Amino acid sequence: MQQSELSGRVALVTGAGQGIGEAVTRALVARGARVAALDWTPDGIKDLEAEFGRDKVTAHTADVADSTAVEAVVDEVENTVGPLGILVNVAGVLRTSPVVDITDDVWHRTFAVNSTGVFNASRAVARRMTERRSGCIVTVGSNAAGVPRTSMAAYAASKAAATMFTKCLGLELGRSGIRCNVVSPGSTDTAMQRGLWADDQAPQRVIDGDPGSYRVGIPLGRIAEPADIADAVAFLVSDRARHITMHDLYVDGGATLRA
């Protein structure tokens, strides 16, 4: 890792208060970026701001589903921290349920955060990046966007929408020198993942797979750590990936058996 490969760049990370978003924030700071950490609750992002200091991390509270609030945060960051060169869309929600039992509220909230939230943040930042003809946008999706999952229809569909949106955005912005990519994690040791575990044997069942739910295991034999996903994001926003755009990088230990 080059300690200063992102030096001088300003990044906005949504969902930065915990899990993958927190790990992405740490990874970008470690590489020299200044990070505007956004989450809908202040606790985690305030802790990051206190740990690193406001010269490296600033905390911003907003619901990514609220386009007006997102636009206000982007304005604030551009005016007080600096021009945004990086956006990482991490904010997401997951509620499991068979399709016949999904409530309207769960369906709409899942898409509001996982899909519309990506649109809101990307649109706001892309408008500024286009004027400067430079920048990188990475959306953290899910391998569920490409493989059907039982009891995860809303989540999988919303992540599939976010993935295709990001690729379309990359196609539109390519001539402006802006790269847009997706990182698709599999099972990762986060609070979201642990919320699905009913007992101490659950992690091993994830690794082994579950024929009853048509789910294969993880060939590498381990559940990802948030840092594994963050390292993939950090690569894609760096100049080492300067000729990569509209790519969907699966970081799932081979769980999808993706060709």
pLDDT digits (tens, 9 = 90+) for 187-226: 888 776 766 666 777 668 767 788 888 888 999 999 999 9
Sheet holding 248-251, edge to edge: 57-61, 34-39, 10-14, 84-89, 135-140, 178-185, 248-251
Active-site pick, 40, 52, 155, 235: 155
How far apart CA 69 and CA 183 sit, in angstroms, is 25
Q: What is the pLDDT of residues 41-62, one digit of tens each?
A: 999 999 999 999 999 999 999 9
Query: If residue 184 lies in a helix (H) or strand (E), which one and from where to where?
Result: strand 178-185
Q: What is the pLDDT of residues 104-161, one digit of tens each?
A: 999 999 999 999 999 999 999 999 999 999 999 999 999 999 999 999 999 999 999 9
pTM (2 decimals)? 0.95
Higher pLDDT, 231 or 193: 231
Contact 64, 117 (CB under 8 A): yes
| Beta-carbon count within 10 A of 228 CB | 19
- CB-based burial, 127-138: b 16+ in 10 Å, e otherwise: ebbbeeeebbbb
214 in active site? no
What fold does the segment set 10-250 form as a domain?
A: Rossmann fold (3.40.50)
Helix (DSSP H) and strand (DSSP E) numbers for the chain: 9, 7
